[in-house]
Amino acid sequence: MRIAGAALNQIPIDWENNLRNIKTAIEQAKAAGVQLLCLPELCLTGYACEDLFLSDWMPESALAHLQAVRPWTDGICVVVGLPVRLNHRTYNTAAVLRDGQILGFAAKQFLANDGVHYETRFFVPWLAGEQATVSCDGETWPLGDLIFEHEGVRFGFEICEDAWRADNVRPACRLQGKVDLIVNPSASHFAMSKTDVRYQLVMKASRTFNCTYLYANLLGNEAGRIIFDGEILVARNGHLLKRNQLLSFKEVDLEWVDVDFTAMQEPAAEIVPLPAPDEYKELNQAMSLALFDYLRKARSRGFVLSLSGGADSCFCAVGVAEMVRLGVEELGLEEFKRRSGCFPAANETVVTQEGAGGKAAQVVESPAPASTLSTNQQLVQQLLTCAYQGTVNSSDDTFNSAKELADSIGARFYNWTIDEEVTGYVGKIQQVLGRALTWQTDDLALQNIQARVRAPAIWLLANVQNCLLITTSNRSEASVGYCTMDGDTAGSISPIAGVDKDFVKKWLRWAETELGYPALRHVNALQPTAELRPLEDKQTDERDLMPYTLLNRIERLAFYDRLSPKQVLAMLEGEGTGFDEEQLKAYVRRFYNLWSRNQWKRERYAPSFHLDDYNVDPRSWLRFPILSGGFAEELAGL
Give CA–CA dist 407/368, Å, rounded.
7
- Contact between 21 and 219 (Cβ < 8 Å): no
How many domains does the chain contain in total?
A: 3
Q: How far is CA 431 from CA 103, 426, 443, 448, in A?
A: 77, 9, 18, 19
Give CA–CA dist 368/413, Å, rounded.
9
Q: How far is CA 270 from CA 180, 181, 193, 204, in A?
A: 21, 21, 21, 9
Amino acid identity for residue 141 in this structure: W
Query: Which CATH number goes with the domain that contains 345?
Result: 3.40.50.620
pLDDT score at 576: 85
The answer to whether residue 335 sits within a structural domain is yes
pLDDT score at 532: 82
Q: Are residues 26 and 86 in the same domain?
A: yes
449 three-state secondary structure: helix
Q: Give the other-Cβ count within 10 Å of 184's Cβ.
A: 28
Q: Are residues 499 and 577 in the same domain?
A: no
Q: Are residues 178 and 227 in the same domain?
A: yes
127 three-state secondary structure: coil
Which of the 8 DSSP states describes residue 460? H
> Which one, of 286, 276, 270, lies nearest residue 196 by Cα?
276
Query: Which CATH number goes with the domain that contains 71?
Result: 3.60.110.10
Domain that holds residue 207: 2-258
Give per-residue burial for 35-72: e unless 16+ CB within 10 Å, then b: bbbbbbbbbbbbbbbeebbbeeebbebbbebbeebbeb
> Which one, of 295, 608, 634, lies nearest residue 471 by Cα?
608
- Residues in a beta bridge with 141: 134
> Which one, of 443, 473, 471, 452, lies nearest residue 539 by Cα?
443
Instruction: Give pTM, 2 decimals.
Output: 0.93
pLDDT score at 453: 95
Q: Are residues 509 and 560 in the same domain?
A: no
Q: DSSP assignment of 312-326, as one string? A: HHHHHHHHHHHHHHH
Amino acid identity for residue 483 in this structure: C
Give CA–CA dist 464/8, Å, rounded.
33
**Of 258, 284, 317, which marks where a domain is finished?**
258
Q: Are residues 78 and 112 in the same domain?
A: yes
Give CA–CA dist 79/199, Å, rounded.
21
**Of 479, 505, 530, which marks where a domain is finished?**
530
pLDDT score at 361: 33
Q: Are residues 374 and 523 in the same domain?
A: yes
- Contact between 634 and 565 (Cβ < 8 Å): yes
C-alpha angle 275/162/204, rounded to 5°? 35
The answer to whether residue 287 sits within a structural domain is no
Q: Are residues 15 and 110 in the same domain?
A: yes
Q: DSSP assignment of 169-185, as one string? A: TSHHHHHTTT-SEEEEE
pLDDT score at 529: 82
Q: Are residues 520 and 611 in the same domain?
A: no
The answer to whether residue 181 sits within a structural domain is yes
pLDDT score at 243: 97
The answer to whether residue 537 sits within a structural domain is no
Contacts 24+ apart (CB under 8 A), 68-72: 68/19, 69/19, 69/22, 69/23, 69/26, 69/44, 69/97, 70/97, 70/100, 70/101, 70/102, 71/100, 72/22, 72/23, 72/26, 72/27
pLDDT score at 330: 98
**Of 233, 258, 283, which marks where a domain is finished?**
258
- Residues in a beta bridge with 307: none
Q: Are residues 524 and 547 in the same domain?
A: no
- Contact between 407 and 368 (Cβ < 8 Å): yes
> Which one, of 259, 255, 256, 178, lies nearest residue 212 by Cα?
259
578 three-state secondary structure: coil
Total number of residues shown for the chain: 638
The answer to whether residue 282 sits within a structural domain is no
The answer to whether residue 280 sits within a structural domain is no
Sign, CA torsion 293/50/558/194: negative
For the chain, which ranges sit under pLDDT 70?
345-371
The answer to whether residue 536 sits within a structural domain is no
- Contact between 584 and 572 (Cβ < 8 Å): yes
157 three-state secondary structure: strand
The answer to whether residue 263 sits within a structural domain is no
Q: Are residues 451 and 569 in the same domain?
A: no
pLDDT score at 357: 36
pLDDT score at 542: 86
Sheet holding 131-136, edge to edge: 131-136, 139-144, 101-107, 89-98, 77-86, 36-38, 2-8, 252-258
- Give every CB contact of residue 195 below 8 A, 6+ residues apart in sequence: 229, 231, 246, 274, 277, 282
- Contact between 310 and 390 (Cβ < 8 Å): no
Give CA–CA dist 129/109, Å, rounded.
10
Question: In a 10 Å sphere around its CB, with 0-12 CB exposed, 13-18 middle and 19+ buried, how is residue 544 labelled?
Answer: middle
Q: Alpha helices, DSSP H only, in 410-525? A: 419-433, 443-464, 475-480, 501-510, 521-524
> Which one, of 203, 217, 190, 409, lies nearest residue 279 by Cα?
190
Q: Are residues 616 and 481 in the same domain?
A: no
Q: Are residues 501 and 636 in the same domain?
A: no
pLDDT tens-digit map of 457-485: 999 999 999 999 999 999 999 999 999 99
- Residues in a beta bridge with 608: 494
